[in-house]
Amino acid sequence: MPHIYGLDAATTQLSNQAAGLASEVLAKHAADVDAKARFPEESVAALAKAGFYGLCVPAALGGKGQGPRAFAAVVEELARGCASTAMIYVMHVSAQQAIGTSPTLQGKDELLREIAAGKHLSTLALSEKGSRSQFWAPVSKLTAAPSVDGFTTSAQKSWVTSARRADSYVSTAQKPGAASPLESTTYLMRPKAHPGQIKMSASFDGLGLRGNESLSVTLESWPVAKADLVSALGEGAKTKLEVILPWFSVGTAAMANGLCRAAVEATAKHLTETKFEHTGTGLRDLPTLRARLAQMSVRTEQARALLAYTIGEMENPSATTPLFVLQTRLASLEAAVDVTDLAMKACGGAAFSKQLPVDRIFRDARAGWVMAPTVDHLNDFVGKALTGLPLF
Ligand SMILES: Cc1cc2nc3c(=O)[nH]c(=O)nc-3n(C[C@H](O)[C@H](O)[C@H](O)COP(=O)(O)OP(=O)(O)OC[C@H]3O[C@@H](n4cnc5c(N)ncnc54)[C@H](O)[C@@H]3O)c2cc1C
């Protein structure tokens, strides 16, 4: 049967390889990662070793030269094994796209080669304490500093996934003298470069995606060389909305779809295998539970079909592409919340008491909802786009 994302032979092989890693490595550590809220070191190392850091790096720089189609298929498989690992990977590839498309960043080819070789993990540091989920409006500012041939900035980044492990962050601040936070710039920072000027919170103890190491990070007079600008001064919104947003949306939609598939699979297995000894029947003989499972499957495949269509839009962009990008993230996040809720109800106490992986999937699925752009932002953006209003 053809893959719902329309994969060719090469991308099918990558998707199968990701599925193999997910079952052989990610799934084995997922419960421990969740219980201890620890970074999934084994799983992230396995991704690096298998060349997945460079999935979307051009082949000429040592990468696999893939686009959003392979990215979605790979992330979906990873999320079936461990959503924390999938999220770390989505942040990495979204940041890598900002690096790869940068018109200003010096030395980006060497950096992309390092990424392709599995030696460099990146992430996004967009959310700030001052503007919270409204990532398009940083309150931190760049101040000109001739001594570092560039700028300095002080910032309170409220959540940075892989904060301690990442080799670089794609970050954002207002340009010097900006009239509004929308006049922003994106820049690359290497968090290990100036240990005295960076502080991180001790740990991340989230409801879900507990392996993410999403820490708050404070920068004090952090030097930003001109050579490290990912966008031109004042052009940060372009990087965030035209590069990071579509890749992050495809990645997180795929992650949500992977969680839906994991929930459907775990529920179907539980209903098929679990018996009532006193009647000789099983859970699958109850029409209410079968109907829940059917609804879960329909929502999952609807979300996957919309993502498949959106990927086609990204490959052949048109005026409607941004709307599909927003809608696919919205549809997948809502599907994941609803599908995992149905899974908890269908599996009953077995899910509630952690005999099954369903409660972890249920908690992990809730993180996407609050990650920016949140479901509220997405609903507002889609409504604005449909009524001809500007997004900001
Ligand atoms: C597991 C996890 C990992 C994360 N990793 C990263 C990361 O690596 N990098 C990064 O930059 N960020 C990251 N984030 C942060 C994330 O993107 C959001 O910025 C954060 O979750 C917002 O939380 P808050 O309490 O500040 O939200 P608030 O902004 O306080 O929002 C509270 C509520 O108000 C709603 N709201 C806010 N503004 C609007 C609006 N304009 N219209 C309608 N409703 C609105 C929101 O939808 C939400 O329901 C991560 C978050 C999580 C949960």
Percentages (nearest 5) of helix, strand, coil residues in the chain:
55, 15, 30
Whether residue 373 has a cis bond before it, omega within 30° of 0? yes
Q: How many CB atoms lie within 10 A of CB 59?
A: 11
Instruction: Say whether pLDDT at 354 is over 90.
Output: no
- For the chain, what is the mean pLDDT? 97
pLDDT at 242: 97
Question: With 90 as the cut, is the pLDDT of residue 47 above it?
Answer: yes
* CA 368 – ligand 1 centroid, Å: 9
Name the residue with the closest Cα to ligand 1, atom 31: 133
Residue bearing tokens 């079909």: 305
CATH numbers and ranges of domains, the chain: 9-116 (1.10.540.10), 122-234 (2.40.110.10), 237-386 (1.20.140.10)
Number of the ligand 1 atom closest to the C-alpha atom of 127: 11
Supply the pTM of this predicted model. 0.98
Residue minimizing CA distance to atom 23 of ligand 1? 133
The distance of Cα 378 from the centroid of its chain, to the nearest Å, equals 16
Please tell me the distance from the alpha carbon of residue 106 to that of residue 319, in angstroms, as a whole number: 32
Distance from C-alpha of 300 to C-alpha of 277, rounded to nearest angstrom: 32
Per-residue pLDDT at 374: 98
Residue partners of 148: CB distance under 8 A and separation at least 6? 223, 224, 225
CA of 81 to the centre of ligand 1 (A): 25
State yes or no: pLDDT of 176 exceeds 90: yes
For the Cβ of 209 lying below 6 angstroms from any atom of ligand 1, the answer is yes
Residue 314: is its pLDDT beyond 90?
yes
The answer for residues whose C-beta is within 8 angstroms of residue 318's C-beta and 6 or more apart is none
Residue 371 near ligand 1, beta carbon < 6 Å: yes
* Calpha distance 81→18 (Å, rounded): 10
The pLDDT of residue 177: 96
pLDDT at 283 over 90: yes
The response to whether residue 341 sits with its C-beta less than 6 Å from ligand 1 reads no
Please, are residues 328 and 307 in contact by the beta-carbon 8 Å criterion?
yes
